[in-house]
Structure 1
Amino acid sequence: MNNRAVLYPIAAVVFWAGNNLVGKMSVDVISPAAIAFYRWALAALLLTPFVLPSVWRVRRVIFRNLGRLTLLAALGIVAFQSLAYLAAAHTSATNMGLIGALVPLITLLLSVLILRDAPTVGAVVGGALSFFGLAILLGQGHPSQILDQGVNHGDAMLLAGATAYALYGVLIKRWILPLTTWQSLYVQILLGLIWLSPAAILSPSMALSGDALPLVIYAGIFASVLAPFCWMQGINKLGASRNANFMNLVPVLTTASAIPLLGETIHGYHLLGGGLALGGVWLSQKLKKTLWARTPEPA
């Protein structure tokens, strides 16, 4: 295997980490509805010449699966990304990276509930460790504070978005749509734009200023097109399991970039809570021994 293959997942996580910074930088520059809509509109425009011909050839397959694709678009294109942009005004880029890193663990837990996969030792131990770390992070070093004051609105939205994206991944695994990855993504983007249109129409401002334009370009090209491309190339060349390990770099890169670029301050609870949460995610990916046999699907 060519060692240069690792550059693909590294590039993908760099682009995604950068998108967390873009989300934070978009506050007071462009409305969440506007950046969400323009981002995916740009991605659709870029993908159309390459993907539309093949999508047209399988249009009957798409129409048969339109309901599922619509739900996937609502979860992956709309809920996950829009909640992140809304949350950016109420939380830090560091928290965006750390909470987003919980997606693989939440996916494992939802797989037990929806796909009836047998829970692994890693899912149980890692889940408990991540939950404790998350409580420290959200309670800013004092988990009991969550009971007294609740969770920061921004962090709550990030958790909801992470859960939506985890459910997105579980449903993709369950349904196994008869489309290529690019065909499926392209159709979801188009459907996502339909979902996003009402918010865009009702938004007080859809203005695209000179300050906002670079943010939209980054989100539309690097985070929406190049990152998925590099990630899929990494899976093809390295395998899904090895490729997935690189995802743990997203919060590290986000934090390392947010300190000099956004002037964010890292506190002890970020290191302790974030470290425990990431450690739990790592354990969930490494300890794959199941606690019991997979529950069979009902007849």
Structure 2
Amino acid sequence: MTQQEKMLSWAILLPVSAVLIWSLNIVVTRYVTDFISPVSISFYRWFFAFLILTPFILPRVIRERALIVPHLKQLAVLSAFGLVLYQGLAYTAAHYTTATNMGIINAFIPIFTIFVSMLILRDIPNRYAIIGSLLSFAGLIYVMGQGNPWGLLHAGGQWGDLLMIIAVFFYAFYGVFLKKWQLQIPLMLSLYVQILFALLYHLPFVAWLGLDAINMANAGSVIYASIFPSLIAPLVWMMAIQRLGPNRTSIFMNLMPVFTALIAFVWLKEAWTIYHSIGGAIILFGIVLAQKKTLAPVLLKAK
């Protein structure tokens, strides 16, 4: 094995690690529903991430404020879609659906990104994107209907799955806005300012709903969410993009449903059924087909 091949082998561990962290966060999100409210864990997550980053990043933000201030409105929009709407709805959805389903629906980010790009960037999807999207949507309906899509008409849909679909749709906007604006701001500075906006957005909800106390039952989940998916995974993901390129890196997002299902099976004892296998295979095939001859979405932020 040549030195270049060895470096490539190690580089592959970077996106795998990031996706594993985000997959575990989905399971943590589902696990902690009995111990803390969605608003509380969402606020604590970004609050502690902000505290951890402040000693290291705030001096740089002050020094480079001339670079940041002109883009404050754009950073505020990115924060609203990526850090608040996506994650807040995901924490709420976890009360009504399984971690396995959440992982499967998260795999729709590339599909939704294609169509949001069409709306905002006027990027017209090719026939592969259209066919792949229809296939993936059919697979999603099959999973949501637990193998009986027609049952959704009588059951009125699965509330948690619908919330998760909306959350993923918002995250697609985050990726497209990143691509549209291409802000020339270092990743950690951008993330720090976005986290600050996220805390401000949370204040009305905290004032209205209050905060649950951190205790022995939920402290581990809060700490994990504050550090690993919020800070470590984005850095590892960006390192992967630098070494493998955005297109090759984004393919690893398709591992999220698999990782999430395995972790949920071991930790939460969630069952992986035949309809998950069939629907998941259809979804992943559609996603791969949809990305044929298209640019992979820009995915820079924590999940």
Q: Confirm or deny that 1:232 pairs with 2:241.
A: no
> Which residue pairs with 1:257 in the alignment?
263
CA distance in 2, matches of 1:23, 1:213: 13
Q: Confirm or deny that 1:286 pairs with 2:292.
A: yes
TM-score (structure 2 length as normaliser):
0.91
Residue identity opposite 2:178 in structure 1: I
> Which residue pairs with 2:60 in the alignment?
54
Contact 2:129 2:292 in 1 (8 A): no
Q: Confirm or deny that 1:187 pairs with 2:193.
A: yes
What SS does the aligned partner of 1:286 have? Answer: coil
| Cα deviation, residue 60, structure 1 | 3.4
| Cα deviation, residue 53, structure 1 | 2.1
Residue identity opposite 2:115 in structure 1: L
The match for 1:161 among 167, 178, 184 is 167
Contact 1:121 1:287 in 2 (8 A): no
Q: Confirm or deny that 1:112 pairs with 2:101.
A: no
Give me the CA root mean square deviation.
1.5
| Cα deviation, residue 179, structure 1 | 1.3
CA distance in 2, matches of 1:53, 1:74: 24
> Which residue pairs with 2:300 in the alignment?
none
Contact 1:200 1:206 in 2 (8 A): no
Residue identity opposite 2:12 in structure 1: V
> Which residue pairs with 2:73 in the alignment?
67
Alignment deviations for residues 122-169 of structure 1 (CA, whole Å, 9 cap, x no partner) = 311210110110111112212222233322111111001000000111
CA distance in 2, matches of 1:270, 1:139: 10
CA distance in 2, matches of 1:218, 1:121: 41
Contact 1:43 1:221 in 2 (8 A): yes
The match for 1:14 among 20, 28, 35 is 20
Contact 2:97 2:160 in 1 (8 A): yes
TM-score (structure 1 length as normaliser):
0.93
Residue identity opposite 2:154 in structure 1: D
> Which residue pairs with 1:247 in the alignment?
253
Contact 1:90 1:154 in 2 (8 A): yes
Structure 1 pair 47–18 and aligned structure 2 pair: CA distance change class (3 A): same
Contact 1:32 1:82 in 2 (8 A): yes
Structure 1 pair 253–129 and aligned structure 2 pair: CA distance change class (3 A): same
CA distance in 1, matches of 2:266, 2:215: 24
| Cα deviation, residue 101, structure 1 | 0.9
238-247 or 64-73, which deviates more: 64-73
> Which residue pairs with 1:296 in the alignment?
none
Structure 1, unmatched stretches of 5+, are 290-299
What SS does the aligned partner of 2:34 have? Answer: coil
| Cα deviation, residue 121, structure 1 | 3.0
* 1:140-159 pair list within 5 angstroms: 140-159=146-165
Number of matched pairs: 289
What SS does the aligned partner of 1:62 have? Answer: helix
| Cα deviation, residue 177, structure 1 | 1.9
Alignment deviations for residues 232-254 of structure 1 (CA, whole Å, 9 cap, x no partner) = 00001111111111111111000
CA distance in 2, matches of 1:287, 1:102: 18
What SS does the aligned partner of 1:26 have? Answer: helix
Contact 2:75 2:194 in 1 (8 A): yes
CA distance in 1, matches of 2:151, 2:208: 36
What SS does the aligned partner of 1:246 have? Answer: helix
Residue identity opposite 1:77 in structure 2: L
Structure 2, unmatched stretches of 5+, are 296-303
219-228 or 168-177, which deviates more: 168-177
> Which residue pairs with 2:299 in the alignment?
none
Alignment deviations for residues 220-276 of structure 1 (CA, whole Å, 9 cap, x no partner) = 111100100110000011111111111111110000111121011122221111221
| Cα deviation, residue 287, structure 1 | 4.0
Q: Confirm or deny that 1:128 pairs with 2:134.
A: yes
CA distance in 2, matches of 1:45, 1:121: 47
Q: Confirm or deny that 1:93 pairs with 2:99.
A: yes
